[in-house]
């Protein structure tokens, strides 16, 4: 198949819309539903991300995409009991690819609402069952078991988008993009991200353990497919905070850091023990938790919103209590798609438990950035590589 007609483009008024190949066939097969323009942008970017994560780590990988940037990305490590609770996973055990998706979705569940999923490996029954109960637009994977496909076909009244992609497909080296009637041309970003990228450690602390190197791999590969400016916080094999598309890098660092903080605050006993009413769905639980851990949480809940979600008014989660809990977040890895121009980024990263950093280097203020890392005993590697993505 050389052409696939779409319902419309980015918006309903943008018709006609299609994807097509000038040479060869389109490397996908639509098994169910009807993908849209943005769905396919997410599918192709997301699959590249998980394919590279699998190649770099040797582990199954998943990502949850929204509006052409990942909301989460992870490799298939087992979930601990706390992670199961905060990701709403009730199963005793999950397959590696299902674990990868649960962790990718769980990083920033509010941003993942209505996501498009990409999987590096075959979609199995465990994964299909997780997907079926989430609000999602579609999934792309190299293959689907028959039972998993049947489960997914039941979703969204039979209209859930399921796409099989050819894992052997190799795109042309030169890519094109048209803006305002003008065609842009460039070589594809074929940069291979590997562990060797983190050998130039420029701080006094030269120790980046193997697990942190894996997290830096995940961060940098995630950034390769995130709209710039972007930074990514990672811990234990998953992104825990992604800041995408910000004009200022410090705003990026703050945004992603707040998401990382929220991820960790969800693990606090006060949140884990919130008295939810029976029948409150996952999206409403996620929204209520976000309000509860927000800076204005108690005021909002005091206005009566708590009665919608909880059997009783929750105990206040004070600013002091949040700060004390966040002090326990350590060992976080941080990647940046371009250099940090000021040490304020490091100051903010430190507040969210960052111990390891990878960034290109090359700023006129590199000395200030390095000195700020040394102040907090953070180990930082200069990669020499920029990863802008637009």
Which sequence positions are flagged as catalytic?
66-67, 229, 390
**DSSP secondary structure of 30-96:** EEES---HHHHHHHHHHHHHHHHHHHHHSS-EEEEEETTEEEEEEE-PPP-HHHHHHTT---S---H
What Cα–Cα distance (Å) separates residue 76 from each residue in 63, 120, 357?
11, 10, 23
> Within 10 Å of residue 343's Cβ, how many Cβ atoms?
17
- Of 59, 390, 388, 350, give the one whose Cα is nearest residue 215: 59
Q: Going by C-beta distance under 8 Å and a sequence separation of 6 or more, which residues neighbour residue 119?
A: 50, 60, 61, 62, 97, 100, 101, 127, 139, 140, 141, 142
> Within 10 Å of residue 329's Cβ, how many Cβ atoms?
20
CA distance 132 to 152: 6
Q: Which residues of 117-149 are buried (b: 16+ CB within 10 A; e: fewer)?
A: bbbbbbbbbbbbbbbeebebbbbbbbebeeebb
Three-state SS letters, 232-266: EEEECCEEEEEEECCCCHHHHHHHHHHHHHHHHHC
Contact 219, 72 (CB under 8 A): no
Residue given tokens 């094999």 in the structure block: 237
Backbone angles phi, psi at 191, to 5 degrees: -55, 130
Six-digit token pair at 199? 């050998």
């Amino acid at each position: 198949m050389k052409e696939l007609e779409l319902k419309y483009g980015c918006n309903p008024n943008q018709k006609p819309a299609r994807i097509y190949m000038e040479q060869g066939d389109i490397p996908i097969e639509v098994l169910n539903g009807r993908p849209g323009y943005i769905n396919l942008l997410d599918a192709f970017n997301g699959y590249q991300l998980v394919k590279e994560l699998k190649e770099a780590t040797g582990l199954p990988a998943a990502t949850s995409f929204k509006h052409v940037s990942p909301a989460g990305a992870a490799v298939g490590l087992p979930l601990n009991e706390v992670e199961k609770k905060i990701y709403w996973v009730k199963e005793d055990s999950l397959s590696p690819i299902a674990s990868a998706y649960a962790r990718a979705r769980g990083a920033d569940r509010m941003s993942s609402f209505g996501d498009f999923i990409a999987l590096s490996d075959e979609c199995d029954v465990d994964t299909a069952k997780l997907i079926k109960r989430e609000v999602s637009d579609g999934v792309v994977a190299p293959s689907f078991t028959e039972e998993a496909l049947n489960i997914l076909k039941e979703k969204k009244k039979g209209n859930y988008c399921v796409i099989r992609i050819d894992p052997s497909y190799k795109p042309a080296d030169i890519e094109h993009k048209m803006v305002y009637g003008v065609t842009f041309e460039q070589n594809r970003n074929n940069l291979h991200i590997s562990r060797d990228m983190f050998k130039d450690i420029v701080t006094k602390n030269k120790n980046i353990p193997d697990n942190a190197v894996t997290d830096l791999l995940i961060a940098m590969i995630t950034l390769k497919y995130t709209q710039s400016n972007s930074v990514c916080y990672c811990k234990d094999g998953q992104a825990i905070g992604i800041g995408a598309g910000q004009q200022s890098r410090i705003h990026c660092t703050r945004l992603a850091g707040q998401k990382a903080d929220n991820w960790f605050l969800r693990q606090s006993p006060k949140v884990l023990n919130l008295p939810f009413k029976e029948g409150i769905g996952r999206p409403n639980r996620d929204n209520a938790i976000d309000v509860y851990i927000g800076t204005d949480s108690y005021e909002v809940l005091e206005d009566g919103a708590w009665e919608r979600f909880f059997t009783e008014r929750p105990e206040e989660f004070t600013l002091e209590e949040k700060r004390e809990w966040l002090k326990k977040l350590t060992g976080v890895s941080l990647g940046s798609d371009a250099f940090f121009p000021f040490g304020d980024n490091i100051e903010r990263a430190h507040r969210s438990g960052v111990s390891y950093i990878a960034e290109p280097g090359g700023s006129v203020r590199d000395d200030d950035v390095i000195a700020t890392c040394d102040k907090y005993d953070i180990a930082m590697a200069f990669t020499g590589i920029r990863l802008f993505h637009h």
